[in-house]
Structure 1
């Protein structure tokens, strides 16, 4: 797993733990919704400033986005579809 995939895995993990949609995270972090999807899939190189905004919305320190996933970690399950209360 390269660093982009690691950051993406952690963004998704923290977002799903909070029950937050990609749309909500993108809006609160002032980034495009598609960008959050690319970031979670490890397809974009995010700037430190963007990672800082995302971490702040997720209420974690930016260093948490670089945490190494456990060796037996399974993919993060998606949230149930549909509208969520914010």
Structure 2
């Protein structure tokens, strides 16, 4: 995957996370607290600023009470 596609994928992942979080009516602050991670990390993921780890994805999915695969259910 070239660098531009990688960046697009990371941004699409973040947008999907934001949509899922909003559909659950959970703020970034509440998600961060429930997942045991920093608010700034949620912010950076949702804004496509960082390529997060699989363990963080697991924490986020658990906090949102969704399967991890739902976080990857998007097109870019």
TM over 0.5: yes
Report the TM-score when normalising by structure 1.
0.74
Cα deviation, 1:53-79, whole Å, max 9, x if unaligned, reads: 10111111111111124x8xxxxxxxx
Report the TM-score when normalising by structure 2.
0.83
Alignment-derived partner of residue 12 in structure 1: 18
CA distance in 1, matches of 2:66, 2:43: 19
Structure 1: which 5+ runs fail to align? 72-86
Runs of 4+ in structure 1 off by over 3 angstroms are none
Structure 2: which 5+ runs fail to align? none
Between the two proteins, the alignment pairs up a number of residues equal to 70
1:60-79 matches, within 5 Å, as: 60-69=66-75
Identify which of 28, 33, 36 aligns with 1:27.
Answer: 33
1:30-45 matches, within 5 Å, as: 30-45=36-51
Give yes or no for the alignment of 1:59 onto 2:65.
Answer: yes
Select the structure that is richer in helix.
2
